[in-house]
Structure 1
């Protein structure tokens, strides 16, 4: 119920419980309809299971235009290579081959530029 002024000691019944509060949902806030909404909102879904189902659900739930789905069940953290799938609101999915994270970023930037040329 506040900030402790010192060390929190264990009680005889065990450690104290902590009440957590949810952070604001930035992606949903940016995606919300209105005059401040960007013309293209891209989110990211780091998933360990059911990449397509979870990424598509997040795309719908958050209201963004695209989701970059990333299977993080393998050696992704700390590694240079990555495999992603770009899911779009219109139901399309583009699976990109394993490449460096720098190349994924370049390809995403090029895909965004291509989107705005149309």
Structure 2
């Protein structure tokens, strides 16, 4: 996303003030779907935790616990190279293509969702799908164990990747909410307001 989309400020939504911690891998700002620009600056008003790998991201997330809400918006790779070379691997004329062995990355969303101790009160995941949006996103929510899934269609022609707007579904035990198409920063604001309303309602019941 753009710096505006990534700027998680200390905000007041629905009577709830959030003390935000943002765990992220340093990212370049996309100028287009195929071209990256300068490195994004740290957003203001949050505690930044910089990581470089999926394992570091999981450890950092667990170190922040307990928290009220975990919003797992990062698109973490499912796999990583099993071995990392500490030097350049040179190509020679008689070399065959190298074999790359992969290892599975930790599943951050599932790990946070299925904790028996210090589980966030609300865990929010994201599903980017190219087909069977509702079915695939609903299955992911059940498989990961999170409370909400924000599902969006990223198939070619939607303009989601590299675009400024998005159409999402919020899927939870209560059903499916279809949000109208809106700028991505407005999607983030609406999600923050929805989270605040849910936590405030739970506090009122307690």
Q: TM (normalized to structure 1)?
A: 0.90
Q: Tell me how far apart the structure 2 counterparts of residues 92 and 114 of structure 1 sit (CA, whole Å).
A: 17
- Post-superposition shift, 1:22? 1.1
**Is residue 9 of structure 1 aligned with residue 98 of structure 2?**
no
SS at match of 2:127: strand
- Which 10-residue stretch deviates more, 64-73 or 14-23? 14-23
- Post-superposition shift, 1:7? 2.3
- Post-superposition shift, 1:78? 1.4
Q: Tell me how far apart the structure 2 counterparts of residues 11 and 19 of structure 1 sit (CA, whole Å).
A: 23
Residue matched to 1:96: 179
Q: Tell me how far apart the structure 2 counterparts of residues 68 and 57 of structure 1 sit (CA, whole Å).
A: 13
Q: Tell me how far apart the structure 1 counterparts of residues 84 and 160 of structure 2 sit (CA, whole Å).
A: 38
CA contact (8 A) 1:40 1:65 kept: yes
2:191 to 84, 105, 108: 108
The number of aligned residues is 117
Residue matched to 1:37: 119
Residue matched to 2:168: 84
CA RMSD of aligned residues (A): 1.8
**Is residue 68 of structure 1 aligned with residue 140 of structure 2?**
no
Distance 1:2 1:111, change over 3 A: closer
User: Any gaps of 5 or more consecutive residues in structure 1?
Assistant: none
The structure carrying a bigger strand percent of its residues is 2
SS at match of 1:21: strand
User: Any gaps of 5 or more consecutive residues in structure 2?
Assistant: 1-82, 202-206
CA contact (8 A) 1:59 1:65 kept: yes
Q: Tell me how far apart the structure 1 counterparts of residues 144 and 125 of structure 2 sit (CA, whole Å).
A: 9
SS at match of 1:46: strand
Q: Deviation above 2 Å: which 4+ runs of structure 1?
A: 1-14
Residue matched to 2:105: 23
- Which 10-residue stretch deviates more, 70-79 or 12-21? 12-21
SS at match of 1:55: helix
SS at match of 2:103: coil
- Post-superposition shift, 1:17? 1.4
